[in-house]
Structure 1
Amino acid sequence: MRPHRAFVESIQPQVELVGREAHHLLDVLRAREGDWLTVFDGKGLEGRARVLQTEPGWVRLQVEETWPASKEPPQPITLYVALLKGDHLAEVARAATELGASQIVPILTQHCVVRELSEAKRQRLERIVLEAAKQCERAVVPKVQPVLQLKLIPPVEQGFVAQPRTQALLHEHFDPSKPTALLTGPEGGLGEAEVQFLQARGFTPVTLGPRILRAETAPVALLSLVTAAFGL
């Protein structure tokens, strides 16, 4: 059985868990004094820890050894994803965590049906990516940024935007030595002027294949192409 995983803000010789992490460890996973588990700080460090002491809503751990993350892409991946209807943004955030995104930036575009993301919903996305990081055994938890207007996206060293009816293939332009920015549009797609703006910012339009993908599928497909190009 895989060891339980717990998130800690900072890995020290002894760490304490309270709140959600303590509740999950004690009441869901039924951990007891003497049990071993893996701790991670969300920034790339993991460790092996033993449960020293427990009380309701509180756990003290002894960290015996630590090691750096070994399952991360060699360069950071930023995913810009348009605001989506329903709970689709949560689905994308979960999959993006599993596929190695370093940060997730919801963006507001011309054709977005949803026009805002409340702070409560953004914090829910943070909880979702944390749980996804535990499940897929990542030591890095992607940052979920506040909503950004597309016109405020900064220039990128290497970027790719998913565009239907485009012939360019990602692997033909991909440089694994550079940080990568990815962008996908909303249900109504990106406007022509938006694509031109992104090209001026360093994004290359690329195809995701001959079929039109749903707005929540496109980010996953685009990320998969990058992880494959990294050889992961």
Structure 2
Amino acid sequence: MPHRYFTRELSNGQAALTGSDAHHLATVMRARLGEEVVLCGPDGLEYTGTVTAITPGRVEFSVNEGAPSKAEPDVAVTLFVGYPKQGKLEEIIRHSVELGVQEIIPFFSRYCVATPKKEEAKNERYNRIAAEAAKQAGRAQIPHVALPLPHFSDVCQALPRYDKTLFFYEGGGAPLRTLLTPGSTGRLALITGSEGGFSAEEAAEAASAGALTVGLGPRILRCETAPLAALTAAMLLTGNLE
């Protein structure tokens, strides 16, 4: 299988890799002129790139016409996840990217155990994890990990830009299968909580903002399990795990 790289230098049938990706392809993989790789551009399409030049710190390609990636879901899912403690967010990012999420937005809420600390530096690492997971999973896009929102009200204020929002509440709600069907497209937001869950006031605020309250069955799921269960179920019900 050809190696996969992401680049923003792609236009008019030409593309280039620089930095660590160029070093990896040229030095580690010992690329040769005429070798083919898969290039993913900022447009979310996949291209076959043929190596045309190798210079220190740069590899150049000619590319064919881009094509949509079969690995990208036809529903754009944003995962709002209550900020967990002890590095659990890295696990959530890695696996949700593999499952097809488009964006991950952590947030702090009333019962969060974790507190904000050096979030800008951590965000750089989180986005590197997302990029690595996207390459491993054969994605054509690198999902974005946003800086955490400081309050749950910020989550609610963001909801109007989504076609549908599902609020996963430990207090129960509508069965997920009644809200998502095969062929569902558009922008979907999923909201799951931290170790402490949500307050009744936060649940009411989410409902007032237009979120549909959903349950995940009678078992209590850990904060790192719930978002992955919710995302997997959403992908399955919309036909994106077939």
TM-score by length of 1: 0.91
| Structure 1 residues 177 and 33: alpha-carbon distance in aligned structure 2, compared to 1, 3 A threshold | closer
Q: How far did residue 20 of structure 1 move? A: 1.9
- Does residue 112 of structure 1 match 2:112? yes
| Structure 1 residues 152 and 165: alpha-carbon distance in aligned structure 2, compared to 1, 3 A threshold | closer
Higher mean Cα deviation, 132-141 or 221-230? 132-141
| Pairwise CA RMSD | 1.8
Q: How far did residue 48 of structure 1 move? A: 0.2
2:176 aligned residue: 170
CA contact (8 A) 2:168 2:216 kept: yes
Inter-partner Cα distance in structure 2 for 1:147 and 1:68 = 31
Letter in 1 for 2:56: P
Provide the secondary structure at the position in 2 that maps to 1:126: helix
Inter-partner Cα distance in structure 2 for 1:3 and 1:14 = 18
2:141 aligned residue: 140
Q: How far did residue 29 of structure 1 move? A: 3.2
- Does residue 126 of structure 1 match 2:127? yes
2:50 aligned residue: 50
| Structure 1 residues 107 and 43: alpha-carbon distance in aligned structure 2, compared to 1, 3 A threshold | farther
CA contact (8 A) 1:42 1:141 kept: no
Inter-partner Cα distance in structure 1 for 2:237 and 2:170 = 20
Q: How far did residue 89 of structure 1 move? A: 0.8
Deviations 1:170-190 (A, max 9, x none): 111226244211011111111
| Structure 1 residues 178 and 37: alpha-carbon distance in aligned structure 2, compared to 1, 3 A threshold | closer
Q: How far did residue 42 of structure 1 move? A: 4.7
Q: How far did residue 39 of structure 1 move? A: 0.2
Q: How far did residue 104 of structure 1 move? A: 0.9
CA contact (8 A) 1:95 1:220 kept: yes
Letter in 1 for 2:201: A
Deviations 1:62-109 (A, max 9, x none): 213321233322231111011111221111111111111111111111
Structure 2 spans left out of the alignment, 5+ residues: none
Provide the secondary structure at the position in 2 that maps to 1:179: strand
CA contact (8 A) 1:84 1:113 kept: yes
Inter-partner Cα distance in structure 2 for 1:131 and 1:15 = 21
1:206 aligned residue: 214
Task: Give the alignment of 1:1-232 within 5 angstroms.
Answer: 2-12=1-11, 13-116=13-116, 118-148=119-149, 149-153=151-155, 154-156=158-160, 157-174=163-180, 176-232=184-240
4+ residue runs over 6 A deviation:
none
Number of residues of Structure 1 aligned to a counterpart in Structure 2: 231
Q: How far did residue 47 of structure 1 move? A: 0.1
Identity of aligned residues (%): 36
Inter-partner Cα distance in structure 2 for 1:69 and 1:194 = 38
Provide the secondary structure at the position in 2 that maps to 1:161: strand
Inter-partner Cα distance in structure 1 for 2:169 and 2:135 = 32
CA contact (8 A) 1:72 1:100 kept: yes
Higher mean Cα deviation, 22-31 or 57-66? 22-31
Deviations 1:172-222 (A, max 9, x none): 122624421101111111111111111111222222222211111111000
Higher mean Cα deviation, 146-155 or 77-86? 146-155
Letter in 2 for 1:108: F
| Structure 1 residues 60 and 10: alpha-carbon distance in aligned structure 2, compared to 1, 3 A threshold | closer
Q: How far did residue 126 of structure 1 move? A: 1.1
Provide the secondary structure at the position in 2 that maps to 1:113: coil
